[in-house]
Each structure stands twice: as C-alpha cells, then as structure tokens.
Structure 1
C-alpha cells in the first residue's frame, strides 16, 4: 500500500503532499481558478510523473545494455480536452534528448519499451484515452 498525506498549508488551494519517506510536493490551483501559484497544478504533476517514470525506465534499460547515458533531458507538452468536466489529457508529446556513448537503435528500443510496456503512468494515461507521442534525439541527432 502507498500512503500519501496531503495538508492545506497556504490559502484556499495550496496543499503540500508528503510520502512516507518524507518527500514533499507543493500543489495549487491557477490564479485564474483562485490559487496563488503556491505549487504545481495537479494535472502538470501527472505529466511530471510521466517524465519521471519513463526516464527511470529508459536509463535503467540503457544501463543494463552498458550504454553510457551522460545527459538526459525531456520536454513534455500536452493538450487537454475542452468543453468537458473533468478535462483529461487528450494529446501528450514527449521529446527525449539523450547524450553520451549511446547506440541510437538501443535508445529507440528503450524509449519504445518504456512507453509501450513498462511505464505505469503512460499506461494509466492511455487508459484515459490520451494519445502519447514521442520523439528521440541522441547527441543532437534525431533518431
């Protein structure tokens, strides 16, 4: 079982979430919705979770293949549904940018395995009918 504690600590919508290891995250609503920019929006946190989940998968896979991952950046953008409540993620685009002594084919396969098989956050978002698209570059070259 996973336990998360959430306490309101700032204004109406400023929350702090804490896991059992003591790691904390601040969450808030947008100023347009009555928030005060105290923390990350919950739906943004979902995209951050997607990035963390897939990043861990990809680096783990490449490390097992003795690939030297010296740098790893991701950009993630998304579009949410309109005219509905709740507004789910409709389309999510990820770009993986890896640096190091990495075989591009192995990097592509690692990204594919993460997105299609291992990343639980990606699977959860796909169950909610989000289209997840991704691209990859290794040492600045598109793969």
Structure 2
C-alpha cells in the first residue's frame, strides 16, 4: 500500500496554509471568503478538488494519447464545479471538464482517452463521482463535441 504524506503549515493569523509534499513542492491554501477584501492568498480547498480532477485526468489523457501515437501540440482543461450555497458540508453535485487540444489528433481517440480517464483510471474522478455527476466535452483542433458520458 502506498502512503501519501503532506505537511501543512499555517502562515498567518487567518486561514492561509502552505501544503508541501515529500518532494518539496508547495501549494498555498486559503479561504478567500473569510477575508475582508475577498482575496485569498492561495487556492481554496474545494478549488483544489477541481484542480485535482483536471490534473489527474489530464495526465491520463496525455499518457493514453501518447501510447496511441497521437501528437499533442497544445492542451488545456477547463473545469467547473457546481455546489450548493448555504449548507455545510457543501459537496460538489456536478463537475464538468472541457478538454481543449490541438495537434495531429483523431477526435475519436481523444474522446476515448477522456472516457477511459474519467470512467476507469482517474482516482480523483472515481473518488468524486460518489457525490458529483461528472461530465466532459472536448474541442479538438477547433471542433467541439461532447465526450463523456456517451449519450444514448
């Protein structure tokens, strides 16, 4: 069994923490809603969840496409999460990922890579799907289409 360890250090009198992993990479975490100016000094914990699903799935998609000899020139992922307000805990009910790629790519292979990632390989997706409906769409070389789950 693999163990993941991080260390968090509180940096100010409010809610600003710095999380550091075993390799020394750091992420600042804060609660912007608790600050008078509404500006945090880091990402919020729930923002980190949608960043995590994007990062996890992005790594899967790159790996799958590279194994399929698809050339990626540019790759961006836009992730949007929807959760209720005024309740605690406020869990994501819907998360949508939109993959934007350019390169020598077969759109069907991109759609398959996204489906494999979100449906099978992405640990973050598999964790979040317990409370959130996860959907995805793609734009490949300017052509947009729904990717996952397949309708029908």
Q: CA RMSD in A?
A: 1.3
TM (normalized to structure 2)? Answer: 0.88
Partner residue in 2 for 1:6: 8
Q: 5+ unaligned residues in a row in structure 1: which ranges?
A: none
Quote the Cα distance in structure 1 between the aligned partners of 2:11 and 2:85: 30
Q: Tell me the CA shift for residue 2 of structure 1.
A: 1.0
Alignment partner of 1:33 is 2:44: no
| Structure 1 segments of 4+ aligned residues over 2 angstroms from their partners | 32-36, 81-84
Greater CA deviation, 83-92 or 105-114?
A: 83-92
Partner residue in 2 for 1:136: 138
* Secondary structure of residue in 1 paired with 2:138: strand
Q: Tell me the CA shift for residue 4 of structure 1.
A: 0.5
When the two structures are aligned, how many residues end up with a matched partner?
A: 141
Q: 1:117 aligns with which of 115, 120, 130?
A: 120
Quote the Cα distance in structure 2 between the aligned partners of 1:47 and 1:66: 28
Greater CA deviation, 33-42 or 13-22?
A: 33-42
Quote the Cα distance in structure 1 between the aligned partners of 2:49 and 2:39: 20
TM (normalized to structure 1)? Answer: 0.94
Q: 5+ unaligned residues in a row in structure 2: which ranges?
A: 146-152
* Secondary structure of residue in 1 paired with 2:85: coil
Q: 1:16 aligns with which of 15, 18, 38?
A: 18
Q: Tell me the CA shift for residue 142 of structure 1.
A: 1.5
Quote the Cα distance in structure 1 between the aligned partners of 2:45 and 2:125: 16
* Secondary structure of residue in 2 paired with 1:89: coil
Rate the CA distance shift 1:36–1:75 in 2: closer, same or farther, 3 A: closer
